[in-house]
Amino acid sequence: MFRRRNARRRRPLRSILLVLAGLGAGWLVVRRPRIRTESRTITDMVEVDVPVSTAYNEWTQFERFPEFMEGIEEVRQLDDTLLHWGASIGRRHAEWKAKILEQEPDRRITWQSVDGKETRGTVLFESAGPAKSIVRIAMSYTPEGPIEAVGSAAGLDARRIREDLRRFKEQIESQGGESGAWRGEIHSGERTG
């Protein structure tokens, strides 16, 4: 009988301690300004049934990215080298600017964010025959907060890029050609051609 009475007394204390621990953990997550993890690099590729110049030309139409990139709400080209991005990541809205560092027609485009979300990447274009090309992407970013960190650890970011490339393939092949082109060159972040 004595044991039973002590067990009953401990339950309310245990419940109070669990509630306080939960509230404390929740406060840390909410009040912590940024939970940062290590940078993550994702690589993938897709073969498209269009000539390399067509694939490259369509990729230079940055403002059309929301049509095939999941979560991208808007891309505005501010000038030849600067883009403004708006995206939904989890339930958060993020905005950032990215600068094109290198751009060589039919070969590659390299960019890096200059504020906001930390991203850097390169898209390579290779001919795979007269009417086929390979688009390769290598992108690195730093997940911010617990939702992005968990999604990254689960490989959701890699799946998203794979699906974006698949949708790009469907879009360019179904429309039969590029919707526009920009053939200028950028080296070291400056337009040269």
Q: Please say whether the beta carbons of 65 and 75 come within 8 A.
A: yes
Indicate the number of domains in the chain: 2
| Alpha helix segments (H runs only) across 110-191 | 145-153, 156-175
Chain Cα centroid distance, residue 112 = 12
Dump pLDDT digits (tens) for 106-123.
Answer: 999 999 999 877 889 999
Residue 103, pLDDT > 90, answer yes
> Which of residues 180 and 151 earns the better pLDDT score?
180
Q: Are residues 10 and 54 in the same domain?
A: no
Q: Are residues 44 and 11 in the same domain?
A: no
Mean pLDDT value across the chain: 82
Q: Please say whether the beta carbons of 136 and 43 come within 8 A.
A: yes
Q: Are residues 23 and 42 in the same domain?
A: no
Fill in the DSSP letter of residue 131: T
Cβ-based burial of 59 (10 A; exposed 0-12, middle 13-18, buried ≥19): buried
Dump pLDDT digits (tens) for 25-48.
Answer: 454 444 444 444 577 788 999 999
Range of the domain at 13: 1-32
Q: Please say whether the beta carbons of 158 and 130 come within 8 A.
A: no
Q: Are residues 62 and 98 in the same domain?
A: yes
Per-residue model confidence (pLDDT) at position 52: 96
- Among 47-51, 55-59, 121-125, 158-162, the range scoring the smallest mean pLDDT is 158-162
> Which of residues 162 and 181 earns the better pLDDT score?
162
